[in-house]
Amino acid sequence: MIHPTAIISPGATLGSESEIGPYCVIEDGVHLGDRCKLHSHVVIHGHTEIGDDNEFFPFAAIGLKSQDLKYAGEPTSLIVGDRNVFRENTTVHRGTTADTPTRVGSDNLFLAYSHIAHDCQVGDHVILSNNGTLAGHVRVDDHAIISGLTAVHQFCRVGAHSITGGISKIVQDIPPFTIVDGNPASVRGINQIGLQRRGFSDQDLRALRTAYKRLFLKKDINLAEAVARLDPALSQNARVGELLEFMQSSERGITR
């Protein structure tokens, strides 16, 4: 089902049962999976590999070249998984070098005007709300929610199951399982409602709340000292262990 006004390069490959709407442009080097739907005025540049059952709304621009000033014009790529929704005017850019593709997982929702810059790594079940923007080299872990008008600085990592408040400024890594808000952002608590919806046990929630109080509310000591003072029994909880591992591996510093 290809509208007669669509322009499709002979060097592009389309999966079965895909729908290409009016005035869409699919360039050389694009691979589109099965059952994808492009509504109208969608532009997909190569080299872009897109999985199955993805949906693109009008004026989405996918796989355009990196905006990084270091980009020298070499072939770079974007890899997209399955069952993603890209709403109106969403932009996703390719990587900056051949060995650093931009990657988007599966089952994500990117609302209108959201932006994924070069070299980003986005997991599964992620939501970028309207005008949520990721600068270059940002990593977003599974089930994270970036609220409207939130801007994430380059090289930051957004932890799994976290959520940002609207119009937040993210300049350091966001710990998993937390709510952050503000300009600049700070941790405001555990994302309890979101974690409950995803089936976290009461035991895990209690452990995470206790860890939050001891790590983020004691402002008179630095974070490394707070981690060192944490009760070893509490650290044995698997979810708290994930939180501590994230914090210890952070290169940019932790939002507190």
Give the pair of three-digit tokens for residue 223: 């974070």
pLDDT tens, 33-68? 999 999 999 999 989 999 999 999 999 999 999 999
At 218 the pLDDT is 85
Banded pLDDT at 18 (limits 50, 70, 90): very high
What are the Cα distances from residue 102, in Å, to 48, 76, 169? 10, 9, 22
Give the pair of three-digit tokens for residue 10: 């002979």
Mean predicted confidence (pLDDT) in 90-109: 97
Give the pair of three-digit tokens for residue 108: 């994500």
At 93 the pLDDT is 98
Q: Tell me the chain's radius of gyration from C-alpha atoms.
A: 20
Strand partners, 128: 110, 146
Residue 220 scores a pLDDT above 90: no
Residues tagged active-site: 118-119, 136
Alpha-carbon gap, residue 1 to 37, rounded angstroms: 10
Q: How does strand 185-190 pair with strand 178-182?
A: antiparallel
At 4 the pLDDT is 98
Task: Give the single-character DSSP code of 106.
Answer: S
Alpha-carbon gap, residue 135 to 139, rounded angstroms: 10
pLDDT tens, 101-156? 999 999 999 999 999 999 999 999 999 999 999 999 999 999 999 999 999 999 99
At 148 the pLDDT is 98
**CB of 163 closer than 8 Å to CB of 145:** yes
Mean predicted confidence (pLDDT) in 177-190: 97
Domain assignments of the chain as residue spans, ordered by start: 7-137, 197-249
**pTM exceeds 0.85:** yes
Q: Which of 118, 117, 114 is nearest to 126 (CA)?
A: 114
Mean predicted confidence (pLDDT) in 215-221: 89
Three-class secondary structure of residue 134 per DSSP: strand
Residue located via tokens 């003072």: 229
Q: Is the pLDDT higher at 222 or at 83?
A: 83
At 235 the pLDDT is 93
- What is the rounded average pLDDT for all residues in the chain? 97
What are the Cα distances from residue 132, in Å, to 64, 67, 109? 18, 17, 11
Mean predicted confidence (pLDDT) in 195-210: 98
Mean predicted confidence (pLDDT) in 207-213: 97
7-137 has CATH 2.160.10.10 classification: yes
Above pLDDT 90, what percent of the chain? 97
Alpha-carbon gap, residue 179 to 159, rounded angstroms: 10
Q: How far is residue 145 CA from its own chain's centroid? A: 8
